[in-house]
Structure 1
Amino acid sequence: LDVVLQPAPALTWRTIGGILDFYVFLGPDPGSVIEQYVEVVGYPAMPIYWALGYHLCRWGYNTSDSAWEVVKNMRNYGIPQDVQWNDIDYMDQFMDFTYDSSKFATLPDMVKDLHAHDQRYVMILDPGISSTQPEGTYWPFDEGLRRQVFIKDAEGRTLIGKVWPGLTAYPDFSDAVTHEWWYDNLKRFHEKVPFDGLWIDMNEPSNFLDGSTNGCPSDSLENPPYTPGVLGGLLRAKTLCATAQQKQSIHYNMHSLYGLMEAKASASALKRIVAKRPFVISRSTFPSQGMYSGHWLGDNRSQWKDLYTSIAGMLTFNLLGIPLVGADICGFSEEPEEELCVRWTQLGAFYPFTRNHNAIDMKPQDPTAFSPLARTAMKQALLLRYSLFPVLYTLFHHAHVHGHTVARPLMFEFPKDVKTYGIDKQFLWGKSLLVTPVLDPGVDYVDGYFPEGLCIQSSGEELPLQAPLDKINLHLREGSVIPTQTPNLTLWVSSGQPLHLISALSDDGSATGDLFWDDGESIDTYETNQYTYIIFSVAQNVMTSQVLHNNVEATYITVELASFYGVKEKPSRVLVNSQDASFTYRENQVLTVADLGLNLSQNFTISWM
């Protein structure tokens, strides 16, 4: 299938066959189109809480000690980090379900240490299973042959391709038997290295050969009358033969589903092994992927252009029901200038999925590798993200239950403002937070567009915003209430902190917001009613908190602070639950009430007169 964008504007679809089902989603507005689409393909899973923290990875740590060293440096500098990853270096000769016992001898100890600090460990897995080990020495292949889990060629023999470990067989994830074999392998490895999540890569499926070691048959499936504009101009280029046989159909019909089916097998196995919400990030995706995994935008480069285009990639996957998405922060290949890495960390702090990832033989690009000025700027950006965790977590709840986007284009909230249609350098978190990152080198300001009603004074105009190197512009929409927390080094710690409610009152003095809260990791908390949901609203000088659904999980969190922006006159009294309370009022129309100690699971009121 080719889809070609014409200048007309028009789309031309060219397909070489297959069964086509067309769905038309009528909206009427952009957000409703996405809700209708997600209702068909499946709602995205609610992520485990630590998935929303800062992740650090690189290809080329070379030893577990060098990865461990970075983790310790991050702690010493007080920079938040929830998850440490490993690329293929950790494996013994790049073989799945193994680790190199010389260079990565301390891997189990590193994982134990991460867990002791409320941090998590994620490792890469490729689908290609080494097929050349002596019989009896590599259980995944021997057992896979025994259970017949591998994709076969047109003649019924195990199809052999080539990936990192050399010659490999490819599991057929369209077969339930393969899912069980995958689970068994993961469980066996988890007993040695208690990983917390999985990064599934190379699952297009990718192949260093075209088709297989034996090539592919010459027929109309392999050589259709028209070939779409794919890499190499062949359907088999750098992947498997179209004629390869899978349980459910020939590979020609299953190819695009490979990553989706592997994600489904991986999420299902993780649920059984850790008995918590599974965390999976996949390279290959297909509609309904959000039910099983998130996605990163693939191998990018350390260039300003890639920083800019990452916004469109992130927004696109949110439209497709895969909200847990982000690009490699600071770029994967090439070495970033310090300024680029700072600006990228600031933008990356607002990707729904935030991971810094780096290629082999490149200089380190984690925050500890830069000057004190850059390091501090990155740390501030990440602490800002961590302080907004209650907002982000609630947005993921709405994605899971209603099919809403987490990161969204401005046009979603302002469909009548034609000027928002082409904006791809700014975006929103939900409906309330506007992110305006710096995307160019050597500047200390950025132009941002403010639709009418986004800020208290805005009537739909472009404004220059100050943006020194240590600052990213974040604006709160009028009429919004957001819950924030004091950030800490991990989400486990910061998510237990008291809440600070920030209200940006609209011209008539009103605002609304909400909070979804649960234990952060149990499966199906919404479906089993193990959660708390609260609506905050402000009208006529009164804030009310209404607990619509209550479960014990939220009772240990208190509201300590409430700030109201846009209170036009200094109040003479402030009452909290009808009791007098002390307050401060600043000339810029900000009313602050501190030391509240309010229990989140009980309704409360704050009023002023």
Structure 2
Amino acid sequence: MELGLVSNHVSPQSLSLPPPPGMLTFNLLGVPLVGADVCGFSEQTEEELCVRWTQLGAFYPFTRNHNAIDQKPQDPPVFSPRARSAMKQSLLLRYSLFPLLYTLFHRAHTHGHTVARPLLFEFPKDVRTYGIDRQFLWGKSLMVTPVLDPGVDYVVGYFPQGLWYDYYTGDSIRSKGEELRLKAPLEHINLHLREGAVVPTQRPNTTLFVSSGQPLHLVSSLSEDGSAGGELFWDDGESIDTLETDQYAHIVFTVVKNTMTSEVLHDHVEASYITVETASFYGVKAEPTRVTVNSQDAAFSYRANQVLTVTDLGLNLSQNFTISWI
């Protein structure tokens, strides 16, 4: 993929993080692989700053912890156990979302789309989104609301009109276009899914090479009418020109009328090694009595916040499948 790469050297100052507008600007200019040096390049960082910056940096399209040669180390192991745990958690979160990120880069390469996207791109009729540079989207559906200020355990985020789901829990928010105060302890960065998305995620591991072979978990954030859609682009992650040489897999996921379908638009051997292990559906309004996978009964759970989770799937990614509930 011809993506380009830009890393900005930013100095840590007074525990305030640089907001994301530079990253968003580069995406608008067609350079999606961009990010600032996490924890700052020169001057000495502080623990809280580095934790919050790592959480934000986990959602830079390009992320690295990097500083000047004459500065003290600022990688996670030099900080307290609590800080290390928080930074590890955010990096594993990034690894788990790699299937989504990789697919977004595919779209950027083939169609000129953004990876990190300002809210105004998705909500051009909402003038309140025009000045927002402290939140952003991955693609059109995953909204990131980072903490950029010191000494706080909350953050105020703007939710455009519509249905949103807490990424971690599936709790729903029906917004009229309003600001909401969100809990944000040191270990937490707020993520919300916009209605109508199917997001492919993956069980994370200590390196991306190992993570890329792990099973998938599909997260669907249903619209009011119960629909959602998404896609996955997948190749070996190393070879060049895989699109031109047909060495890739492309799968589309659709949810409508209580049924998820996968359609393999393009198959390749890489996809045959990946399985879909679980699928979660946010916004299932009534508890199902039965769930079937390819017409066979399947194990499932249902929570009071309207989250349906189907487990032990073992589905081959390179073969079409259906998941239905009644």
Q: Report the TM-score, using the length of structure 1 for normalisation.
A: 0.51
Alpha-carbon shift at residue 304 of structure 1 (Å): 5.3
Unaligned runs of 5+ in 2: 165-172
- 1:551-590 aligned at under 5 Å gives the runs 551-590=268-307
Label 1:573 to 1:510 Cα distance change in 2 as closer, same or farther (>3 A): same
State yes or no: 1:429 paired with 2:138: yes
> Which residue of structure 1 aligns with residue 168 of structure 2?
none
Label 1:422 to 1:327 Cα distance change in 2 as closer, same or farther (>3 A): same
8 Å Cα contact 1:484-1:500 kept in structure 2: yes
State yes or no: 1:312 paired with 2:21: yes
Q: Which amino acid aligns with 1:295?
A: V
State yes or no: 1:536 paired with 2:253: yes
> Which residue of structure 1 aligns with residue 225 of structure 2?
508
Separation in 1, partners of 2:206, 2:69: 27
1:494 to 191, 211, 217: 211
Larger radius of gyration: 1
Deviation string, structure 1 residues 75-114 (Cα, Å, up to 9, x no partner)? xxxxxxxxxxxxxxxxxxxxxxxxxxxxxxxxxxxxxxxx
Q: Which amino acid aligns with 1:470?
A: E
Separation in 1, partners of 2:278, 2:148: 34
SS in structure 1 at match of 2:24? helix
8 Å Cα contact 2:15-2:46 kept in structure 1: no
> Which residue of structure 2 aligns with residue 440 of structure 1?
149
More strand by share: 2
2:111 to 392, 402, 410: 402
SS in structure 2 at match of 1:488? coil
Q: Which amino acid aligns with 2:5?
A: G
> Which residue of structure 2 aligns with residue 303 of structure 1?
13
SS in structure 2 at match of 1:327? strand
Separation in 1, partners of 2:45, 2:129: 31
Separation in 2, partners of 1:565, 1:586: 10
State yes or no: 1:391 paired with 2:100: yes
Alpha-carbon shift at residue 308 of structure 1 (Å): 2.5
- 1:85-96 aligned at under 5 Å gives the runs none
Moved more, 364-373 or 456-465: 456-465
SS in structure 1 at match of 2:59? coil
Alpha-carbon shift at residue 361 of structure 1 (Å): 2.8
Separation in 1, partners of 2:124, 2:252: 26
Separation in 2, partners of 1:527, 1:303: 46
1:476 to 176, 179, 193: 193
8 Å Cα contact 1:303-1:340 kept in structure 2: no
SS in structure 1 at match of 2:17? helix
Separation in 1, partners of 2:132, 2:33: 22
State yes or no: 1:605 paired with 2:322: yes
> Which residue of structure 1 aligns with residue 5 of structure 2?
294
Alpha-carbon shift at residue 553 of structure 1 (Å): 1.4
2:128 to 419, 423, 428: 419
8 Å Cα contact 1:386-1:491 kept in structure 2: yes
SS in structure 1 at match of 2:302? strand
Deviation string, structure 1 residues 202-257 (Cα, Å, up to 9, x no partner)? xxxxxxxxxxxxxxxxxxxxxxxxxxxxxxxxxxxxxxxxxxxxxxxxxxxxxxxx
Q: Report the TM-score, using the length of structure 2 for normalisation.
A: 0.95
Separation in 1, partners of 2:191, 2:35: 18
Q: Which amino acid aligns with 1:379?
A: K
More helix by share: 1
2:235 to 493, 518, 534: 518
> Which residue of structure 2 aligns with residue 381 of structure 1?
90
8 Å Cα contact 1:300-1:306 kept in structure 2: no
8 Å Cα contact 1:306-1:331 kept in structure 2: no
Label 1:450 to 1:304 Cα distance change in 2 as closer, same or farther (>3 A): farther
RMSD: 1.2
Q: Which amino acid aligns with 2:273?
A: Y
Alpha-carbon shift at residue 469 of structure 1 (Å): 0.5
Q: Which amino acid aligns with 2:89?
A: Q
8 Å Cα contact 1:304-1:440 kept in structure 2: no
Label 1:306 to 1:441 Cα distance change in 2 as closer, same or farther (>3 A): closer
> Which residue of structure 2 aligns with residue 224 of structure 1?
none
State yes or no: 1:355 paired with 2:72: no
SS in structure 2 at match of 1:307? coil
Alpha-carbon shift at residue 306 of structure 1 (Å): 6.4
Unaligned runs of 5+ in 1: 1-44, 47-289
- 1:448-459 aligned at under 5 Å gives the runs 448-453=157-162, 455=164, 456-459=173-176
Label 1:479 to 1:587 Cα distance change in 2 as closer, same or farther (>3 A): same
Alpha-carbon shift at residue 307 of structure 1 (Å): 2.1
Q: Which amino acid aligns with 2:266?
A: H
SS in structure 1 at match of 2:162? coil
Runs of 4+ in 1 over 3 A off after TM superposition: none
Deviation string, structure 1 residues 28-73 (Cα, Å, up to 9, x no partner)? xxxxxxxxxxxxxxxxx35xxxxxxxxxxxxxxxxxxxxxxxxxxx
- Identity, in percent, stands at 75
Separation in 1, partners of 2:60, 2:163: 21
Q: Which amino acid aligns with 1:352?
A: P
SS in structure 2 at match of 1:448? strand
Separation in 2, partners of 1:562, 1:313: 35
8 Å Cα contact 1:335-1:362 kept in structure 2: yes
- 1:253-264 aligned at under 5 Å gives the runs none
